[in-house]
A and B are shown apart, each in its own frame.
Chain A
């Protein structure tokens, strides 16, 4: 079965999938939060490789810069800032049978998604309004097509994201700063 596909494509797929899945499993299994964050970088690299294989070159670069760069650094910063970089104590199960039930629910979800994918056929006729019929392509055309879509069809959504980011920054500052005047009754450390 593998022989019917180009060998380089198969190698890229296997490497990307292995990086993603092993990284994700490490994130949820290792005890130290710092190791989890580093495993998360591994997952993001796998996803970036898959994006390149799928001709999404701009998003692959953004995946590395924003996710593996900014977001993971933010995680690591908070881990160090809070001083929780020691092994996490997962003491037993507060809810009876949580893990088996979680595993069962996840299994049903994934199996349902896979069965749905196997049984559905995707309409490939009309493309959405975003491209005006321009197909997505690799190389510079990918960036050009994505930029055109974002700044024409999705212009309002793009403008609204700027408001979202401002709100997020202000909210994070308000949440994370020390409230001296309002916190007289709290046992603030």
Chain B
């Protein structure tokens, strides 16, 4: 008997939780981007698990597009990190408080 889908779904939920916690607590913009990747991958795992259990390739096609969007997002995001680092010499998001009222 194969592993039930719910096991993978629970692991994906835990993985998303770890990524979300890291995103909320870490200061470095680079680490926050890595946490976004972890969360995206947790969702990808959910998609693939459902594609497997529901016998539907649509879930895998969705993961394909998530991959493309994640690649684009990382490219632009790291470009922003580089641009901010030029000004601030730091990747800490606490430094970006110019709009504080």
What 1/0 mask marks residues of chain A from 60 to 95 whose CB sits below 8 Å from any chain B CB?
A: 001100110011001100110110100010100010
Measured between C-beta atoms, what is the minimum distance from A118 to chain B in Å? 8
Q: Mostly helix, strand, loop or mixed at chain B's interface? A: helix
- Chain A residue numbers with a CB within 8 Å of B58 are 127-131, 149, 153
Residue B94 at the chain A interface, CB threshold 8 Å: yes
Size of chain B's interface in residues, with CB distance under 8 A?
73
Report yes or no: B82 in contact with A176, Cβ–Cβ below 8 A: yes
Report yes or no: A21 in contact with B18, Cβ–Cβ below 8 A: yes
Residue A181 at the chain B interface, CB threshold 8 Å: no
- In angstroms, Cα B8 to Cα A100, docked, is 27
Report yes or no: B76 in contact with A5, Cβ–Cβ below 8 A: no
Size of chain A's interface in residues, with CB distance under 8 A?
94
Report yes or no: B82 in contact with A110, Cβ–Cβ below 8 A: no
Question: B94 — nearest CB in chain A belongs to which residue?
Answer: A94
List the 9 closest pairs (A to B, CB-CB), nearest first. A28-B22, A175-B79, A168-B72, A102-B24, A130-B58, A172-B79, A110-B17, A135-B55, A54-B52
User: A residues within 8 Å of B by Cβ?
Assistant: 4-6, 9-10, 13, 17, 20-21, 24-25, 27-28, 33, 36-37, 40, 43-44, 47, 50-51, 53-56, 58-59, 62-63, 66-67, 70-71, 74-75, 78-79, 81-82, 84, 88, 90, 94, 98-99, 102-103, 105-107, 109-110, 113-114, 117-118, 122, 124, 127-131, 134-136, 142, 145-146, 148-150, 153-154, 157-158, 161, 164-165, 167-169, 171-176, 178, 186-189
Q: What are 14 contact pairs spanning A and B, CB under 8 A?
A: A28-B25, A33-B31, A53-B3, A56-B52, A62-B64, A82-B91, A88-B31, A102-B21, A102-B24, A102-B25, A131-B57, A135-B57, A142-B60, A171-B75
